[in-house]
Structure 1
């Protein structure tokens, strides 16, 4: 009788890599398990073109407590909110003299499952309303020339300080509401103030300055369910983001986005701070430089990094976290017709977030940059494009324990070549 050879056990399957995620070395810490909650909300905006600033923009309103309650209930299931975003899912502009704008916005909360070392501390979600006054100064048709936006973030900062003094911890900040001219700031603190993504607010005027505008802001915080003496302090660091768009005749356009995020994260994470959020405060300026056969627009945008540290550990500079950034190109399509233009956005970043989570990376912020790269024709009368977004992550620094005396350490894992 012949003897059959014994079968070798199959090696464990490696996680399938997602396109757009750079190769990751092995990580000894726990993975991040995510859960995404989506809310699609329609809006309608009407405005008149003219040589004067916009006089009124009626907006569809919603009860913003819809997503607050849904996200808060996940805390009872062992999740914590890490990021909240408002993203245009579709945009349709029609009309000539009167612009009718229909939008669908995607409200998305991204939560992570609590790891074992955080289970003892119970938290609840709290959302505080704030506001961001802003004004647009423009000197060209629809911002095609030089333009400047000024905004005052003082109320946001003061609100965070007051809440932190009572034991709350900052989670994230998001612009969720929009009001037009001559609206008093306190009105932006109510749910009926309207909701319109601040990054897409239409401040259209031919020359001069726009009316005073109030952007409604939601500040997401966590409060302990059990009394605790722990208090947290925050550092706000403003870093300029420089966006350059250059277009040469018959050669298309090219976007370049620059920001020294490595320098600021290395400085603060390297001294024991934790990165909490990044916030575009709407302060920016744009300049056009026209030359023979070439046109260049430069945008300088303020980006605020928020860092956190427990007050009792202010003198402890031991690094706890490391950071990384992954560029993600969100697909979209633009379709034009007679008097109508429609753009649809498909963020579809969930596989990328989940893939990086398997290597312990905790999402901090998905930053929507102005960069937009067109791929080409997607059919008759339509163009496909990629919206450039920056994903910021952090994870705890984990080092391998030293082997016992006389025992050789295992060989290092091979890292794929770039």
Structure 2
């Protein structure tokens, strides 16, 4: 110990993360995350064509399970930023009849409220919606050559209705149905996005699949105290083009094209806030074959949701900026006699922690159909990386005036008049 005052050491800069570009210093507060995980098993029985049978037992969690858990975090000073459902494992067994066992990770990602936000101002509300979907395929056991249509009107109507009562949209996620929830006549309850991800290629006979009703959860925040503040939303559809060029083997490479920067700069540049990116299951795929190569193209619709306070519709002052981090989730696929098993580990927590240190708040983890194979991991095993997009945004913070006392120069001595 000494008589002189000790200087506080500056915290070390955040470590760099592979694949994440370096971040410049940020003057605003960091974003601290808390993640709640739910592991959910599924059992699906399909026929030889990989087409779902009528009435297949595809049950999801009761929404009250994660609603109560995530809602209780609001009392602890957290707010939900997104709810993600990602496949953790998939096993397909059988020949004529295929039994598909899946385990999905339900993940609620929350952030700690900064000091400038009033705690316990909002409560979480989960509303069940549905997404009718029909798949058309052509050819026999052909990868691609298919298209899918889905009607998202009920989702939009639900958001508009809730917003009129003062609610704010948090996120939209396809989660599945509880067997008690299916009310659409002649439809099959289904979970979207098998291991191939949303918009995955279809393996089935030519023709039309059964009409499927995809269970959707809409996560909203409702004010705890009555308020006259209302929010409005803009929905912009952006096409995602995914191509896979394969030469002589499975070692092809995927390419994903999505003009997210163009649309976010347009709306964020006029005062809007990005709140969600949703794949609406409207997609088409086809394949071009050459002598030594095969090219598969998938066209997928992505809907970007923007929010603005109704009283500030004419205020075009930019408030937020956005970025995207491409994340490659490692996985492994193993084949046996009559059985294929695949699993991957979507461990993006280090990326979120790194980006959160610079104030970036997660908006969406977008699971693309792209999957790059790395090579053999042993007899009958392949390793791969699944390409995912992490969309983030943060408030625009300008340099604050310095609070340090400025030392004024001493006045010049007065000179008496001669």
**Structure-2 residue corresponding to 1:49:** 48
**Residue of structure 1 equivalent to 2:244:** 245
- Taking the aligned partners of 1:396 and 1:239, their CA distance within structure 2 comes to 24
Deviates more, 1:68-77 or 1:195-204: 195-204
Does residue 279 of structure 1 match 2:274?
no
1:150 alignment counterpart: 149
Q: Within 1, Cα distance between the matches of 2:227 and 2:50?
A: 57
Alpha carbons of 1:407 and 1:23: their partners in 2 closer, same or farther (altered >3 Å)?
farther
Structure-1 separation of matches of 2:379 and 2:391: 37
d(CA) in 1 for partners of 2:403 and 2:68?
51
Alignment of 1:191-230 (within 5 A): 196-198=191-193, 205-230=204-229
For residues 198-347 of structure 1, what are the structure 2 equivalents within 5 Å? 198=193, 205-250=204-249, 252-347=251-346
- Aligned partners of 2:190 and 2:213 also within 8 Å: no
Is it true that 1:77 corresponds to 2:76 in the alignment? yes
The size of the alignment, in residue pairs, is 397
Alignment partners' CA distance in 2, 1:8 and 1:53: 67
- Note if contact 2:60-2:176 (Cα within 8 Å) is conserved in structure 1: no
Unaligned runs of 5+ in 2: 408-418
CA apart distance, 1:195: 6.8
* Compared CA separation, residues 70 and 406, structure 1 to 2 (3 A): closer
Match of 2:108 in 1: 109
Deviations 1:155-174 (A, max 9, x none): 00000000000000000000
SS in 1 for 2:175: strand
Shift, 1:19, TM fit? 2.7
Shift of 1:303: 0.1
| Aligned twin of 1:97 | 96
Which entry has the higher C-alpha Rg, 1 or 2?
2
Question: How far has the Cα of 1:17 moved from its partner?
Answer: 2.4
Q: C-alpha displacement at 1:315, in angstroms?
A: 0.5
TM-score by length of 2: 0.89
Residues 219-272 of structure 1 show CA distances to partners (whole Å, capped at 9, x for unaligned) of 000000011110000000000000011111258201110011011000000000
Alignment-derived partner of residue 356 in structure 1: 355
| Matches for 1:120-139 after TM superposition, within 5 Å | 122-139=121-138
Instruction: Decide which structure has greater helix share.
Output: 1
Distance 1:171 1:329 in 2: 25
Q: Secondary structure at the match of 1:379?
A: coil
Structure 1 unaligned blocks of 5 or more: 1-5, 409-418
1:214 to partner: Cα distance: 0.3
In structure 2, the partner of 1:386 is: 385
The 8 Å contact of residues 46 and 99 in structure 2, kept in 1 or not, is answered as yes
C-alpha deviation, 1:20, in angstroms? 2.7
In the TM superposition, structure 1's runs of 4+ consecutive aligned residues that sit over 6 Å from their partners are: 6-9, 404-408
Q: 1:230 to 1:199 in 2, by over 3 A?
A: farther
d(CA) in 1 for partners of 2:227 and 2:60?
38
Q: 1:230 to 1:334 in 2, by over 3 A?
A: same
2:187 corresponds to 1:171: no
3-state SS of the aligned residue for 1:185? Answer: coil
- TM-score of the pair, normalised by structure 1: 0.89
Are 1:371 and 2:370 an aligned pair? Answer: yes
2:413 equivalent in structure 1: none
Say which SS state the counterpart of residue 205 (structure 1) adopts. Answer: coil
Contact 1:53–1:209 (Cα < 8 Å) also in 2: no
Distance 1:226 1:195, change over 3 A: farther
Q: Deviations over 1:17-46 (max 9, x none)?
A: 233322111000000010000000111111
Is residue 204–residue 210 contact of structure 1 (8 Å, CA) maintained in 2? no
| Match of residue 413 from structure 1 | none
Whole-angstrom distance in 2 between the partners of 1:171 and 1:199: 24
